[in-house]
């Protein structure tokens, strides 16, 4: 029994969602045999996963391999073909994940300000607010609660704020929806954001604001945006920097490139003395950068913007820091 024989048999099966044979759709991505367990391993791409079509196919493949060909085991991984059509596989878009491990260190603020600084440098920027637990992007971008609309071809239309194209869990979950329910939606929400949103065709950057923690979201992102690079945000405090380092290591294990570290809430410039007060301690950013072997890209002071709620303009010290960060991202991401 060899691989080409299995292929020849399985290729004749039909993907019911399209009515075409697996040969016609080029569905078989991989076939292997584990000789010890005498098990067939396959990766098959079909139009729609998780439904009756997948179950029926699996049943037919099991009949061929196990009943007719006598293999002891079968493992099939089904992939959805439409994934190849999502924004995640658009080679022209650079994906940048903003991550920290710890909550409340300023991920969302950094994500929005970086997106805004890129827009100010004439880049086409998208922003995915993936924080189902505490979405704050709409507030940072001074948006009211909105209900998403659909395009004629049944895609979700993204919103636009300060020149940034965006979607947020907030618009889908709605205010006051229980957190526990939002958690259950996390995975399908991310899928919608990547496959069902009508993003502009000419987007150059997609910034992803992630929720705190290093859980399932990382695996989802690996799947959805395999080539994303990561910016790690920390505060100067050891408790934040330790968790940020762990998050960095976890992302690296998934083979995401770490672009660098941003130390937020670095210090407070005391207007009375004109000296820096290190309210949250010192050294967190350096520590994370050193341990991960990457650059410390920016130290953002504690302060409030002059013109907006949370966004900074280039006539402010912090606005200039974000502008430099945006320039760096364009060179390195």
Ligand X SMILES: Nc1ncnc2c1ncn2[C@@H]1O[C@H](COP(=O)(O)OP(=O)(O)OP(=O)(O)O)[C@@H](O)[C@H]1O
Residues engaged in binding ligand X (CB under 6 A) = 100, 103-109, 131, 134, 136, 212, 264-265, 300, 302-303, 310
CB atoms within 10 A of CB 57: 22
What's the number of CA atoms in the CB half-sphere (13 Å) around residue 13? 25
Q: Which range binds Mg ion by CB under 5 A, 100-108, 199-207, 224-232, 254-262?
A: 100-108
Specify the residue, 193 or 195, whose C-beta has the smaller distance to ligand X: 193
Near Mg ion by CB under 5 A: residue from 25, 100, 108, 318: 108
Specify the residue, 61 or 105, whose C-beta has the smaller distance to ligand X: 105
Specify the residue, 169 or 264, whose C-beta has the smaller distance to ligand X: 264
Specify the residue, 45 or 135, whose C-beta has the smaller distance to ligand X: 135
Residue 214 contacts Mg ion per CB under 5 A: no
Nearest-angstrom CA–CA distance, 176 and 186: 16
Specify the residue, 241 or 264, whose C-beta has the smaller distance to Mg ion: 264
All residues at 6 or more sequence positions from 90 whose CB lies less than 8 Å from its CB, including other chains: 203
Among 106, 100, 62, 331, CA closest to 213: 100
CB of 178 to ligand X, least distance (A): 17
Structure tokens at 29: 């991505």
Residue 102 contacts Mg ion per CB under 5 A: no
Residue 182 contacts Mg ion per CB under 5 A: no
Near Mg ion by CB under 5 A: residue from 46, 93, 96, 107: 107
DSSP string of 232-261?
Answer: EEE-SSHHHHHHHHHHHHHHHHTTPEEEEE
CB of 209 to Mg ion, least distance (A): 6
Specify the residue, 27 or 298, whose C-beta has the smaller distance to Mg ion: 298
All residues at 6 or more sequence positions from 196 whose CB lies less than 8 Å from its CB, including other chains: 155, 156
Secondary structure letter of residue 197 according to DSSP: B
CB of 169 to Mg ion, least distance (A): 11
Given phi > 0 = left and psi -120 to 50 = alpha, else beta, which region is 119? alpha
CB of 233 to ligand X, least distance (A): 7
Binding site residues, Mg ion, CB under 5 A: 107-108, 131, 136
């Amino acid at each position: 029994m060899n691989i080409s024989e299995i292929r020849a048999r399985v290729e004749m099966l039909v993907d019911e969602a399209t009515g075409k044979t697996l040969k016609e759709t080029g569905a078989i991505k991989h076939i292997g045999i584990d000789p010890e367990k005498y098990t067939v391993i396959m990766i098959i791409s079909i139009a729609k996963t998780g439904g009756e079509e997948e179950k029926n196919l699996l049943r037919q493949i099991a009949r061929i391999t196990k009943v007719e060909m006598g293999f002891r085991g079968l493992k099939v991984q089904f992939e959805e073909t439409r994934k190849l059509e999502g924004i995640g596989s658009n080679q022209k878009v650079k994906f940048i994940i903003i991550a920290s491990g710890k909550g409340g260190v300023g991920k969302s603020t950094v994500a929005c300000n970086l997106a805004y600084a890129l827009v100010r440098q004439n880049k086409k920027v998208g922003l995915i607010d993936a924080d189902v637990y505490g979405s704050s992007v709409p507030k940072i971008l001074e948006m009211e609660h909105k209900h998403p609309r659909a395009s004629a071809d049944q895609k979700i239309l993204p919103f636009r704020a300060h020149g940034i194209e965006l979607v947020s869990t907030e618009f889908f979950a709605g205010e006051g929806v229980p957190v526990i329910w939002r958690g259950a939606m996390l995975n399908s929400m991310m899928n919608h954001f990547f496959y069902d949103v009508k993003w502009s065709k000419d987007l150059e950057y997609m910034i992803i604001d992630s929720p705190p923690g290093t859980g399932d979201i990382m695996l989802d992102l690996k799947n959805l945006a395999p080539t994303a690079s990561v910016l790690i945000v920390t505060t100067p405090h050891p408790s934040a920097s330790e968790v940020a380092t762990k998050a960095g290591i976890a992302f690296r294990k998934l083979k995401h490139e770490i672009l660098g570290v941003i130390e937020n809430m670095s210090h407070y410039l005391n207007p009375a003395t004109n000296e820096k007060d290190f309210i949250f301690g010192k050294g967190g950013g350096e520590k994370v950068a050193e341990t991960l072997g990457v650059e410390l890209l920016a130290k953002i002071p504690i302060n409030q913007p002059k013109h907006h709620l949370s966004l900074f303009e280039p006539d402010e010290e912090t606005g200039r820091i974000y502008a430099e960060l945006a320039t760096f991202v364009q060179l390195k991401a």
